[in-house]
Structure 1
Amino acid sequence: MAFPAASANRRRPAAERSASPAALRLRRPLTAHSFRRRRAAVRRLGNLQTWQRLTKLWPSTLKQICLSGLHSWKKKFIRFKNGIITGVFPASPSSWLIVVVGVMSSTYLKVDPSLGMIARINRTLDSTNCMTSQTKKVVSGVLFSTGLWVALIVTMRYSLKVLLSYHGWMFAEHGKMSRATKIWMSMVKIFSGRKPMLYSFQTSLPRLPVPAVEDTVSRYLESVRPLMKDGDFQRMTALAQDFAVNLGPKLQWYLKLKSWWATNYVSDWWEEYIYLRGRGPLMVNSNYYAMEMVYITPTHIQAARAGNTIHAILLYRHKLDREEIKPIRLLGSTVPLCSAQWERLFNTSRIPGEETDTIQHVKDSRHIVVYHRGRYFKVWLYHSGRLLTPRELQQQMQRVLDDRSEPQPGEAKLAALTAADRVPWAKCRQDYFGRGKNKQSLDAVEKAAFFVTLDDTEQGYRQEDPEASLDSYAKSLLHGKCFDRWFDKSITFIVFKNGKMGINAEHSWADAPIVGHLWEYVIATDCFQLGYTEDGHCKGDPNPSIPCPTRLQWDIPEACQEVIETSLNSANLLANDVDIYSFPFDAFGKGMIKKCRTSPDAFIQLALQLAHYKDMGKFCLTYEASMTRLFREGRTETVRSCTTESCNFVLAMVDPSQTVEHRLRLFKVASEKHQHLYRLAMTGAGIDRHLFCLYVVSRYLAVDSPFLKEVLSEPWRLSTSQTPQQQVELFDLERNPEYVSGGGGFGPVADDGYGVSYMIVGENFIHFHVSSKLSSPETDSHRFGRHLKQAMADIIALFRPTVNSKK
């Protein structure tokens, strides 16, 4: 027999039978008398459902919070540990114990290695009256041992700094090493410790020296002699000599004072006045790009390529955070280079200001921001306390690609603000991005590990049209559509629709070799370690439990949208004016040039001088970037490649009456001169950074210098740079000759000049990038490229006996 309540409950509908009493009360007819009771029931029901949802989510939420905290504390511990290891370099923390044991053992053997210091410490401890005699003996020994250990560290570090201040090895004849240099190398290796970390050598690197004013002025006059007529040169000589005698020494005194106080007397001013205070667009004018392999694309699936390479970038960041990247060392892994520029590779963004920009760097970032078809997505890089796998990252990228939502008003072309002049962007950022959802979304972009663009175009080398395809690939990496790269980020990683990829890098925080080192690791890891399945997907399995990428939300008013359109128009004019010719040169390479017993870089620089003369019919001031990272916090120096010796060689090459022997003799003289200038620049005896800093001091002192003003206003109509290959061991080009990189390039420095970048890959391949402006009637990148190919062939022909005899 059923109870009345039970039978009544069976007669109710199923929905009512499963409902809670609070929910049933809500369905009764509303009367004025029961309104308050109904409202209270709604609140209780809402609280109950919220409580139920929270209790269900508690385990996973608490797990994620705990894992996030563990990750943060783990990174702090690693930084603390690395700080200790780097702080005691070139010794090691374990060496402290060895010193303590050694001193205590000798004490117990009645031998006093301290020459009475331990006894003196013991007598000092007697006044405390809180330790036994045996404890005081042990404490005294430990204190002396620690002091001895610290003294040894300081001595070794200072000795290493003195050794690294010697640069005579750079000026020795190639292939010939003196006995003194061999002894010096052995001493450097002894004081360099075992297994140094990335930043281990920082405190042992010498400071950049300040050259003498007379030397700098003399080298300057020598560099401009072939570019000036006699009258102009005499006028400049008079200005230079007056500066060297009168104003120069006064400015030099302040510069010397700074060099004693600051770590590097150039780098901070160079970063501020050359980069951060520039008010023009970063796009084309400052940012540069890097290609991947020219002929190989491991997969044509865009999301898969993005998944593998993003994972490889994060593996590199993991090694960087742990300082496991080996410091770059020259001369058979002996002489270390400064590693300071690695610190801001990730989690960094350039923040616009009305007068000057700033660089914002956060210690850690657990997300990236992905741009696709006008939308911005925040993608978390970790799940359950671990880094996402390549297949999981591919899944996240595919979710972004499959998202069919439309851009919010003003969102699609927002990044055009970063492509144009800095002042409008700074004002716009202050007025419209300082609060609310705009601030949150902008913070997500600027504090991301790096920026990713899933480009909806196809780029890369096409065999049916190699010239146009590589030019298009280079231009897309340099500026894209002017609104699909975030030019303020330290690196923007770009993956095209067909799986090709590349990088656009902001220049103020570091120079190209740092990005190049990352890029080499990423390409090698993607191709030779991670790999793909037979159907082109990342290896592994997808994980549906990972939360989807989050759309960033924007509320961009019409006034801001107008500024975006204005910036985009300005950026388009700049981008459409760029003419780029990107081409591989495989007629010969480094291998054949070395057989001619000359420097590959000097060979190419002389070919550039010959090509420029054939192209323009005149010589010009030439900039070649050299590094000064033999010194602490060193960046770059200028090698003035156009010399009297190089001009004599070029004039002999275009004169049909000159013999091959005479041309070859002039080539060797010009090549040796270029190598000497390059070595001077690397060892701190360059011209341009010293003159630049003297000019900055004159501006601070409000002193006018006609000499410095004229020097710094001279245009670099030929600006050149070599992209070095730093990790040759990652690529076996003998087994895989098609795995050659295209290097990278940059925009022209002068409106009527050329920008030339080149990368020497392996023994038989060189890739060139030539840029100029279409608006200049004097320049043509493709014409210059043809002259460069011919110049390379003409110079190598000087070393071929068969060709020479025919001539």
Structure 2
Amino acid sequence: MVFPKTTPLQNQSRAILKLLDKNLVNREYVEYQFIQQSQIPTSHFQSALPRLPIPELKLTCERYLAAQRPLLIDESYKKTEANVYRFRDGVGKQLQKFLKDYDNKNKHTSYISELWFDKYLRSRSPLPLNCNPVLVLNNDDKPEYNDQLIRTTNLIVSSLRFYRALKSELLHPEIFHLNPKKSDTERLNLILSKLPPKLAYVCAYFYKAFPLDMSQYPSLFQTTRIPECDKDRLVNCPESKHITVQYKGRFYAFKVLTVSNDIVTPTQIMENLKFILSDNIESDKFPIGVLTTLERNKWATIRHELAENGNDALLKTIDSALFHVCLDEETVGDDPYKMTKQFLHADGANRWFDKSFSLIVAKDGAAAVNFEHAWGDGVAVLRYAQDIFNDAKNKPRVHPNTTLTEGSSCQVQRLEVQLNEHLKKCVEDAKNLYKSVCDNLDVNYTIFEGIGKDTCKKSQVSPDAIMQLAFQVAYHKITGSFVSTYESCSTAAFKHGRTEAIRPCTTATKEVTLAINALNKPPAAELKKMIQECSTIHNRLIKEAAMGQGFDRHLFALKSMGERNDIKSNIFDDPEFSHMGYDILSTSTLNSPAIFAGGFGPVVPEGFGLGYVIKDEFLGTLATNYKDRTNGPDFMAALTKSFEEIFAILRTN
């Protein structure tokens, strides 16, 4: 077989790999510096990825009406239907043309990318609970490696190895394999690495391996969100070589890369962290990290004053850091409630929520990744979290018996904060406001054991469909109503894809819910058929969303086109359109052996934030809600009851 000439990216990564063939010293160097040495360059498929399609206007209108039908009484639905038809046959066509023209002028990206960035950055809501999710890592299975100093050091080293592989095009591209045994092989990887991007993409597709967008990954590092009035900024500092660390609310910084961008030794990182953890200085009485919990316009104004008050260099050091590390004094144990509260929000004193992500490690070594959402989505953060968890666990660089040189030169810079009386008052006010919000947040969880993915497959139903049905049944049990429900779906199969919404509250789920919760239930066999039909419809919605054929992002883009061109439309003025976007039940799942739990706050005051996992032998759900608006324990009790009833039906022959 004759292969075409290699690309510059392939040459860059192969030049590094050739070091492995020279001598043992270079082999050890490459092995330490890079978490992976992929044959296929990281962004190899990027130019060949298909563009996110703009759905047909007619289909979007049909899908939107189908999602509205179970939520509305007949009279309201008829009004909405008339509005949608008038939109479809009138101004909608004009907005669709504007959107297609806009898309044709921006072929380097997707039609949703700029608009979605703009949506996030214009939001004035505080980041914690409203925007920043958290992924909690499993503990190391070797207890002695869960020591805070040891685990933090290993996770930092693994993070730097991930960063170096990413920058050097040696991080394996993210690929979704339908049949990994056939497609995730060294032989196919070698072939794909030698083919030009378009041919490589076609070849991977032939093997039912689907490369995913990697454009968000560089923003994991050296990136921060800067508060500005009306619209924030995302800033990237590609030359930075340091990380920042928070401990007791105070800030520290030290370099983790050399002049030639090599990772410093593990013991040097460990020595610096030990210095910070041994710093006898008292906790900061006025921790400025809590200011990142404020409404964005207010924070922007205060930050400007902070910079003018002698803190400009400090802020730039934090902003430009490769990433941020929070060393907490609290112990969380294995309690999901305490763990979620600590890693999702804490008291704000030892946090800087504006960074692209913060690696948080509690006193007992429990670790999590809290990330800002504007720059990217869960796919990139999950990949990072999985890789550093596995690397730190399987290839730890420091150990319980690692010895540090006595009197070695520590290279930590303590960052001093200058506050006048007004700024001190701003910090105090922020602490009090944030405490009232966090005290109002409730966290509840349930683990339904003995039944999971395997049981669902035997009953010929989708596990995800069953989880979503259970949410509908549970919510109806406690409220007697059906509400807008959001399930996130990645569109990373497309260039610069972000997410699409799945709307799990369908006419089918409504019918099943009413039947399950009825006093006089239909026969179990009939209910089982209804659940299977519900699952079929849900699977179709997932496939449509993943292929960019949902309706939420399309309507959002059409609405944006109207705003840009000063064109009003009846559909977007309809109160039912706003209700559809008011997600009482906001749901998301990220399944990984590396992840203990994932969590996020409710997206509306009277809503629930539902993070769930589906394992072979159990189902788990973690729910957040505001105590003054909804009852979390009642919902979780209803959810447990719903699981019991649904699986009793599925066991029916």
- Map residues 28-427 of structure 1 onto 2, 5 A cutoff: 84-85=8-9, 195-262=39-106, 263-273=109-119, 275-293=120-138, 297-330=143-176, 331-332=178-179, 333=183, 334-382=209-257, 386-406=262-282, 412-427=286-301
Within the alignment, does 1:477 sit opposite 2:343 as a pair?
A: yes
- Map residues 397-476 of structure 1 onto 2, 5 A cutoff: 397-406=273-282, 412-434=286-308, 436=310, 438-461=311-334, 469-476=335-342
SS of residue in 2 equivalent to 1:460: coil
The Cα shift of 1:435 comes to: 7.2
Relative to structure 1, is the Cα distance of residues 230 and 203 closer, same or farther in structure 2, using a 3 angstrom cutoff? same
Distance in 2 between the 1:405 and 1:389 partners?
27
Give the structure 2 partner of residue 519 of structure 1: 385
The Cα shift of 1:629 comes to: 1.3
Answer yes or no: is the 8 Å Cα contact 2:12–2:168 preserved in 1.
Answer: no
Relative to structure 1, is the Cα distance of residues 500 and 253 closer, same or farther in structure 2, using a 3 angstrom cutoff? same
Distance in 1 between the 2:351 and 2:175 partners?
34
Answer yes or no: is the 8 Å Cα contact 1:368–1:451 preserved in 2.
Answer: yes
> 357-366 or 705-714, which moves further after superposition?
705-714
SS of residue in 2 equivalent to 1:742: strand
Give the structure 1 partner of residue 648 of structure 2: 797
Distance in 1 between the 2:585 and 2:624 partners?
10
Answer yes or no: is the 8 Å Cα contact 2:9–2:169 preserved in 1.
Answer: no
Distance in 2 between the 1:505 and 1:545 partners?
34
Specify every segment of 5 or more residues in structure 2 that has no aligned partner in the other structure, as ranges.
16-37, 184-208
Specify every segment of 5 or more residues in structure 1 that has no aligned partner in the other structure, as ranges.
1-80, 94-193, 462-468, 726-730, 732-739
Answer yes or no: is the 8 Å Cα contact 1:293–1:741 preserved in 2.
Answer: yes
Answer yes or no: is the 8 Å Cα contact 2:157–2:397 preserved in 1.
Answer: no
The Cα shift of 1:400 comes to: 0.6
Relative to structure 1, is the Cα distance of residues 448 and 583 closer, same or farther in structure 2, using a 3 angstrom cutoff? farther
The Cα shift of 1:288 comes to: 0.6
Over residues 49-88 of structure 1, what are the superposed CA-to-partner deviations in whole Å (9 max), with x where a residue is unaligned?
Answer: xxxxxxxxxxxxxxxxxxxxxxxxxxxxxxxx99713699
Relative to structure 1, is the Cα distance of residues 82 and 322 closer, same or farther in structure 2, using a 3 angstrom cutoff? farther
Distance in 1 between the 2:6 and 2:362 partners?
38
Answer yes or no: is the 8 Å Cα contact 1:391–1:538 preserved in 2.
Answer: no
SS of residue in 2 equivalent to 1:713: helix
SS of residue in 2 equivalent to 1:492: strand
Within the alignment, does 1:507 sit opposite 2:357 as a pair?
A: no
Distance in 2 between the 1:352 and 1:391 partners?
36
Over residues 438-481 of structure 1, what are the superposed CA-to-partner deviations in whole Å (9 max), with x where a residue is unaligned?
Answer: 111111111111111111111031xxxxxxx3211101111111
> 660-669 or 587-596, which moves further after superposition?
587-596
The Cα shift of 1:406 comes to: 4.1
SS of residue in 1 equivalent to 2:355: coil
Relative to structure 1, is the Cα distance of residues 375 and 502 closer, same or farther in structure 2, using a 3 angstrom cutoff? same
Within the alignment, does 1:574 sit opposite 2:437 as a pair?
A: yes
Answer yes or no: is the 8 Å Cα contact 2:52–2:497 preserved in 1.
Answer: yes
Relative to structure 1, is the Cα distance of residues 612 and 542 closer, same or farther in structure 2, using a 3 angstrom cutoff? farther
Give the structure 1 partner of residue 529 of structure 2: 665
Give the structure 2 partner of residue 633 of structure 1: 496
Answer yes or no: is the 8 Å Cα contact 1:753–1:772 preserved in 2.
Answer: yes
The Cα shift of 1:233 comes to: 0.7
SS of residue in 1 equivalent to 2:622: strand
The Cα shift of 1:389 comes to: 3.6
SS of residue in 1 equivalent to 2:161: helix
Over residues 199-242 of structure 1, what are the superposed CA-to-partner deviations in whole Å (9 max), with x where a residue is unaligned?
Answer: 11111111111112221111111111111111111111111111
Answer yes or no: is the 8 Å Cα contact 1:482–1:575 preserved in 2.
Answer: no
Over residues 652-675 of structure 1, what are the superposed CA-to-partner deviations in whole Å (9 max), with x where a residue is unaligned?
Answer: 212343111101100011000001
SS of residue in 2 equivalent to 1:444: helix
Relative to structure 1, is the Cα distance of residues 256 and 517 closer, same or farther in structure 2, using a 3 angstrom cutoff? same
Give the total of aligned pairs. Answer: 590
Over residues 454-511 of structure 1, what are the superposed CA-to-partner deviations in whole Å (9 max), with x where a residue is unaligned?
Answer: 11111031xxxxxxx3211101111111221100001111111112111211010111
Give the structure 1 partner of residue 31 of structure 2: none
**Aligned AA for 2:8?**
I
- Map residues 529-544 of structure 1 onto 2, 5 A cutoff: 529-530=395-396, 533=399, 537=400, 539=402, 541-542=404-405, 544=407
Distance in 1 between the 2:406 and 2:551 partners?
57
The Cα shift of 1:365 comes to: 2.4
Answer yes or no: is the 8 Å Cα contact 1:211–1:690 preserved in 2.
Answer: yes
The Cα shift of 1:432 comes to: 2.9
Over residues 11-46 of structure 1, what are the superposed CA-to-partner deviations in whole Å (9 max), with x where a residue is unaligned?
Answer: xxxxxxxxxxxxxxxxxxxxxxxxxxxxxxxxxxxx
Of the two, which has the highest radius of gyration?
Answer: 1
Distance in 1 between the 2:386 and 2:406 partners?
29
Distance in 2 between the 1:427 and 1:595 partners?
58
Distance in 2 between the 1:543 and 1:221 partners?
70
Residue number among 630, 633, 648 corresponding to 1:782 in the alignment: 633
Distance in 1 between the 2:617 and 2:100 partners?
46
Distance in 1 between the 2:614 and 2:406 partners?
42
Within the alignment, does 1:650 sit opposite 2:513 as a pair?
A: yes
Answer yes or no: is the 8 Å Cα contact 1:692–1:712 preserved in 2.
Answer: no
Within the alignment, does 1:694 sit opposite 2:568 as a pair?
A: no
Answer yes or no: is the 8 Å Cα contact 1:458–1:497 preserved in 2.
Answer: yes
Q: Please report the RMSD computed on the Cα atoms of aligned residues, expressed in angstroms.
A: 2.5
Relative to structure 1, is the Cα distance of residues 305 and 708 closer, same or farther in structure 2, using a 3 angstrom cutoff? same
Answer yes or no: is the 8 Å Cα contact 2:474–2:635 preserved in 1.
Answer: yes
The Cα shift of 1:596 comes to: 2.2
**Aligned AA for 1:424?**
K
Distance in 2 between the 1:613 and 1:626 partners?
24
Identical residues among aligned pairs (%):
30
**Aligned AA for 1:562?**
K
Within the alignment, does 1:678 sit opposite 2:542 as a pair?
A: yes
**Aligned AA for 1:504?**
N
Distance in 2 between the 1:668 and 1:543 partners?
66
Answer yes or no: is the 8 Å Cα contact 2:379–2:490 preserved in 1.
Answer: no
Relative to structure 1, is the Cα distance of residues 390 and 765 closer, same or farther in structure 2, using a 3 angstrom cutoff? farther
The Cα shift of 1:258 comes to: 1.2
SS of residue in 2 equivalent to 1:502: strand
